Every structure is written in structure tokens, then in C-alpha cells.
Structure 1
Amino acid sequence: MLKNVRIVESLDHEQWDKYVYEHPRGSIFHTRHLVDVFRRTKNYCPLFLAAVDEGQQILALLVSVRVQTLPNPLGKLSSRSIFYAEPLCSDEPRGVEALSALLAEHDSRLRGKVLFSEVRALHAAGSEQEALTRQGYEHNGYLNFLVDLRQPSDVLWGRLTGSCRSNIRRGEKHGLTIEEVTCDKGVDTLYPILNLTYGHAGVPLADKSLFTHALRILQPLDMIKIFAAYHSGQPVGASVVLLYKKVVYEWYWGVQRIKSIYPAECVTWHRINWGQQRNYNFYDFGGAGWPHKPYGVRDFKAKFGGDLVNYGRYRKVYSPWMFSLGERAYEWRRKLTSPTKWLAGRRAPA
């Protein structure tokens, strides 16, 4: 560890807010507000660490979340530590050294509790990559789409594929409407749709407490929006986005497939256009799968004219044989059910 540098688990709120906001890679996933949401969510256990020097200057910062999808005694077999954004550090050598120390501390705490740790990068690699590599994190390609919202709405519309535009028009013609429902009613509309969606897809869904607390903590700060799609007075789709530093982050969504209605296309375009009209800079689709592996969600997201990027993910496996066992158990669970008329979307596919 660097001389006169301490690892801390809390910071002055103003200092924390300022560091994340001013850091070029600072995101909503580094904020104390989302850490608070994660802390209150069932089966989520966040870890916040920062390295500060003798003058209380922040040199590095990380946020991870231990996510457990099965009850004990199968907790470790179903748990992983997720960094929903890359850790932050200053570019000089001291910053990289400090982050390396933070990662070592993180690994020492989580090694016996999770199968692996995964860093889901939101940007092209920076100085944090050196620290991650030093600590044994392996980098692999992972795709995403980013839409530049600084373009006029008609230009964004023109970048959609022709079939996507046609489907949106058909949905509108058949009476599909979309409303903002950023309130308790919105969570009550959103969660049953997500629950059915993820259940049919065989993918674990976060507990409802994630969305309940996200609404209560983030909504007063204008950092969250919930949208619902209705047809004949019934909800047929819903989605939630996170908002920070002029970026709209796609988080979770689900829709019911109804012939000639196309709620998936309609609600996705609505989110993009909503962001453009409110002067956001980018729409982050939240992931598009591993390169060279077929992924239907990537094909869907490609319709919206975003720029395909490959910022990748970093992963560190603590026990290869346990990881292999956990992967087989996960795939077996997924095959117990198969998707039917539901289409799922979330920020961070497993």
C-alpha cells in the first residue's frame, strides 16, 4: 500500500458527490444514492471502498455489489460480485497504485463469498485497466450500443431500421400509448411484467425492493423514470431508466408480444426520443452480449441506429471448479423454462 494512503468505507457526502460527478468515467453506479438503494435491496450487499491520501484527497474509488440468487446454503454457489461500472482512479501512478490496493482489499473480502467478480465497463479502457490487470482480472470483449442524443429527433428517427419505424407506426395506429409512471403505481405496474418476463426467460430477477427503494431514493433527485405501455387500457410493457450526467441508462424492461402492436419497439423509441427532447447527450443500451455469440437482444437493439462499441468486461474467478459448477447449475435452471410470448430486457445480462 502507498505510504500515507488509507482505505475507507465512507466519505463526506459532498466530497463523494463531487469526485464522481467530476471524474470523466463517473456514473450513476458510483453514486452514494445508488449504493444506498443496493444496501436496502434484498439479496444485494454493496461494498464501497475509497483510497484517500493524507490530505483526504480521493485517489481511487470502487463500488461492487454481491448479488445472491439462491437462498442459503446455496448462497455462495449463486453469488457473484458485480461492478456495474469500472472503478475510478486518477491517471497518475499513485492513482493506479491506490486502485490496485482497493481491488486487493475487495478480493480479500469477497473471495470466500462469491464465485467470481465481474467489472462491466461503461467506457473505453483507461488507467483503471492497469490496476485490474495487476490484480488478475481478465478482460474479454463485450458489446453495447450508444445513441448520440445530441442529434435532432428526425435524424435519430431516420437511423432506425425501416422495419422498426414501420412497427412503431403500426403500434401507434392500433392504439398503443406510453405514459410516464414514476411513482408507486409505476413500480406496481413494472414489477409483475418483469416477473413474468424473467420467469419465462429463466433468468433471475432482482427483488421488488430494488425498484421500490430506487424510486424512493432516486425520484426526488430526478435520477429515475418509469414508463408503461398500454393497449386497450391494459399494461403490455414497462421499463425503468436511470439518469445521471446527461446520460439515459437503460436498466430493466419487459413487454408482452402482441401481434401488430409492437410494444418493444414503441417503448424503446419513446425512451430514446424522451431523452433527446430533454437535452440528454447519450442513451446507453446497457449491454449487447459477447461478440461472436448469437444474442437476440443485440439484434433487437441494433434496430435503433446506435453506435456499436466493445468496451468489454473484466472477470476474476476465485475457484474455477466452483465456477464451472455454478455455470452448469445456472444453465440447467434456465432450461427448465423457455421463453414464450414474453421478451426480456435488462441493463446487465448474466
Structure 2
Amino acid sequence: MIQSNIDNISEKQWTELSKCNTANFFQSKVALHFFESVGTEVFTFALEKDKEIVVFLSGIIQKEKGVKAGLTSRAIIYGGPIISENAEEKNVLEVLAYTVSYLKKKAIYVEMRNLNDYGDYKEVFKKAGFEYVPHLNFHLDCEDEAVMRKRMSSSKLRQVKKSLKQGAEIKEAQDQKEIEAYYAILENLYKTKVKTPLPNLDYFIRMWKDKVAKFFLVIYKEEVLGGIVCPVLDNKVIYEWFVCGKDGAYKNIYPSILATWAAMDYAVKNDIPRFDFMGAGKPDQDYGVREFKSKFGGEQVEHGRFLNVTQPLLYKVGKTAVKILKSI
């Protein structure tokens, strides 16, 4: 039977889920409680067999406010579902079918943004109406600092050293004013370059206060020049969720590079074996961010995304609107 109340999942079952190869932070109890706490609509489906949760899937429904809501409502399953080794194909198919049935009137499309390898389940997803969409990412091995440095681009490593020598510092956020300063830089980045919706300031303040993620900031002359927001999964993986920097503000200070280095350095010092860059674009499209991320020495992987369009006409209209907004 499929259940939708995470309060019915025991601590032992959560622990077992975290040990699965497809476990990720965004399918954790911490992440779900955070999304609910900031008013995001959350959905959760778990299939139990012999007292074990063999398939777990959760996500959020995102939409813009007002008249745009109908054209922008989408169901995003960050990270992809957790699938136990004891799950049968029929179990996975049952949860996927239930998910689509539940969401078909709530969202224009359902998208799984995979952070792990689901290659063995492609056919199951296809049977459930999901199309595989190629999408790249980088996974960086952080187990050995010397090896990590060696794999990193010499120019990027040099820029890290220059920034630190010049007096730039990396530290964890200590007060709300620092979060506000970081957010101002991030908001400007999204308005001028990224051009996709960004959660409001309260979202980040709540994330910081509740210790949902690490906030590493780049400080120079007592000014916040950038930073990175990094959730951590059970000291197994650290994720680059949001990152920004006021590059070019000062000579020989490289905030964006230093912010990324902050997560890498934290991983090494805290025995976290993997740094997940959380996306590097589509393989058939030029993407400057992918070029930037590739310089840090990670392995390029293609775990892709799974897409199920529940309302084709609205999806087409919405997709066209997004392209227009990004081109402005």
C-alpha cells in the first residue's frame, strides 16, 4: 500500500532509506520539513513491503503568483526517488503511476531532476509515461585533498590562493545581516543572468536559522562578496544548491571561485566523500556554467531527468513564455 504521511515512517526506516544508492538530501525528512515550513506544497509517496520502505518519492509544487500560476505550475522531484535494492519493477511502476495520477490536475508537468544513476530503471519510467531528457552534472571526489587539488584547473587553484593571500576569508554565516547581504548578490544574479524564479529572502533566512544547509560566505574588508548554500546528506554528499559572487569588484579577489572552494574544503576537512554540483546543463547546448564547473576537477556524469507532461497544451505555452522571458 502507498502511504503519503511521512510521520508514519519510522526512524529505522528513514535510516535504511539513507543507505540506498539513490538516497539524496532532497528526499530526506529534513528537506521535506523545511519545504513545508516555508509554505511550499509538498507531496510524498512511500511503498512499504515487509516493513521496509522500498520506494520513496517526494517533491514540491512550484508556481508563480497571480494569473501566471496556471501556466507555471510544475511538480519538481529534486534528486529523484529513493529505490531500495529490494524493490521490484512493479513496486517502482506502482509509485510512479500513483504520482502521475495524483499530480495530473495539479501541475502542467512532473520533472525528476536526478542526482544519482537511474539507468537500470529507464524502461520502468518509460512505462509510466516519463521521457528521459539528457542532463549533465559533475561529481567531485573529496576523499583526498592532494588528489582533489591536482585534478583542479591550475588557473582556478591559483585564483583561490590569490584571493586568500589578498585577504579574502571564508566563513560560515553568523547573523541575519550576512544572509541578507548574500541574498542581495544572489538576487541580482538571478535577475540579470539566470532569469528563473528565486525563492524570497525569508526562505533563505529560515533555511539558515533551522540549519537545513551550510552557508559559506566570502568576506573581504568586512564585506560579503558572495557565498554558497550547501545541504549535506549524512556526511556522504555535500551539494551546491545556490552560489554567487561579486566577481570583478576587487583585484585578485575571485568570490565565485572561492565560494565553490569553500564547499570543497569543508568536504575534505569533514570526511564527506562527494561534492555534487547539482547540474551542468544539456549536453547539446553551450552552457557557460558547465565550463566554469568543469574547472574544479569533478567527473562529468549524465544522470538526466525524467519528464512527464500532464497537460501538453499548457506546457507548450508555458515553455514558450519562459524562453521569451529569458531572452529579455
Flag whether TM exceeds 0.5 (same fold): yes
Matching of residue 67 in structure 1 with residue 62 in structure 2: yes
Say if 1:229 and 1:235, in contact at 8 Å, map to a contact too: yes
Partner of 1:21: 18
8 Å Cα contact 1:186-1:227 kept in structure 2: no
Whether the 8 Å contact between 1:103 and 1:135 is mirrored in structure 2 is: yes
- Give 3-state SS (helix, strand or coil) of 1:64's partner: strand
1:22 partner letter: K
Deviation at 1:8, TM superposition (A): 3.5
Give the structure 2 partner of residue 232 of structure 1: 221
Q: Give structure 1 regions of 4+ aligned residues with deviation exceeding 4 angstroms.
A: none
Q: Over aligned residues, Cα RMSD in angstroms?
A: 2.0
User: CA, structure 1 residues 107+72, in 2 after alignment: closer, same or farther (shift >3 Å)?
Assistant: farther
Q: CA deviation at 1:27?
A: 1.5
Aligned counterpart, 1:78: 72
Deviation of the 1:16 alpha carbon: 4.2
Q: Give the residue type in structure 1 aligned to 2:319.
A: E
Matched, 1:279 2:271: yes
Q: Offset at 1:240?
A: 0.8
How many matched pairs?
A: 323
Who is 1:252 aligned against? 242
Paired position in structure 2 for 1:293: 285
How many Å separate the matches in 1 of 2:238 and 2:149? 17
Relative distance call for 1:216 and 1:129 in structure 2 (3 A) is farther
AA aligned opposite 1:315: L
Unaligned runs of 5+ in 2: none
How much has 1:7 moved relative to structure 2? 3.4
SS of equivalent residue, structure 2 residue 219: strand
The CA deviation string for residues 98-146 of structure 1, in whole angstroms up to 9 with x for no partner, is: 2222222221222122221111111222554343221111112111111
Task: Give the CA deviation at 1:334.
Answer: 2.0
Q: How does 1:117-196 map to 2 (within 5 A)?
A: 117-125=110-118, 127-151=120-144, 153-181=145-173, 184-196=176-188
1:213 to 206, 218, 224: 206
Q: Deviations over 1:250-301 (max 9, x none)?
A: 1111111215321111221122022111111111111111002100100000
Do the aligned partners of residues 328 and 283 (structure 1) sit closer, same or farther apart at CA in structure 2, a change above 3 Å counting? same
The SS at the match of 2:291 is helix
SS in 2 for 1:38: helix
Distance 1:154 1:186 in 2: 32
Matching residue of 1:36: 33
Q: Is 1:149–1:276's contact at 8 Å kept on the other side of the alignment?
A: yes
How far does residue 58 in structure 1 lie from its aligned partner after superposition? Answer: 1.9
**Aligned-partner Cα distance in 1 for 2:2–2:306:** 25
Quote the offset at 1:319 in angstroms.
Answer: 2.5
What amino acid is the match of 1:58? I
Distance (whole Å) between structure 2 residues aligned to residue 210 and residue 302 of structure 1: 29
Which residue matches 2:312? 320
Counterpart residue number, 1:88: 82
Is contact 1:7–1:102 with CA below 8 Å preserved after alignment? no
1:37 maps to amino acid: F
Match of 1:50 in 2: 46
Per-residue deviation, 1:186: 4.3
1:269 aligns with 2:261: yes
> Which is further off, 94-103 or 235-244?
94-103
Q: 1:124, 1:311 within 8 Å by CA — same for their partners in 2? A: yes
Would you say the 8 A contact 1:149–1:283 is kept in 2? yes
Secondary structure, counterpart of 2:66 in structure 1: coil
TM-score, with structure 1 as normaliser: 0.86
CA distance in 2, matches of 1:133, 1:231: 50
Give me the whole-angstrom Cα distance separating, in 2, the residues matched to 1:183 and 1:25.
Answer: 34
- After superposition, the C-alpha distances for 1:84-111 in whole angstroms (9 at most, x for unaligned) are 112123345x633222222222212221
Q: TM-score, normalised by structure 2?
A: 0.91
Match of 1:115 among 85, 108, 118: 108
